[in-house]
Amino acid sequence: MSGAAGRVHSIQVSGGGVPKRAVARARIGKLGLEGDRQRNLKFHGGPDRAVCLFSLEVIERLRAEGHPIEPGSTGENLTLAGLDWAAVVPGARLRIGADALLEITQHTKPCATIAASFQGGAFQRIAPREHPHECRLYARVLAEGDAAPGDPVELLPPRAALARKFTSLRDRLR
Please give the backbone phi and psi of residue 50, each rounded to the nearest 5 degrees, phi first: -70, -35
Q: What is the pLDDT of residues 1-28, one digit of tens each?
A: 456 799 999 999 999 889 999 999 999 9
Q: Kindly give the residue spans of alpha helices, DSSP state H, lying in 3-151.
A: 56-64
Question: Which phi and psi angles does 53 have, rounded to 5°?
Answer: -120, 150
Instruction: Give the start-to-end residue ranges of the domains of the chain.
Output: 4-173
What's domain 4-173's architecture?
Beta Barrel (2.40)
pLDDT at 41 over 90: no
pTM of the complete model: 0.87
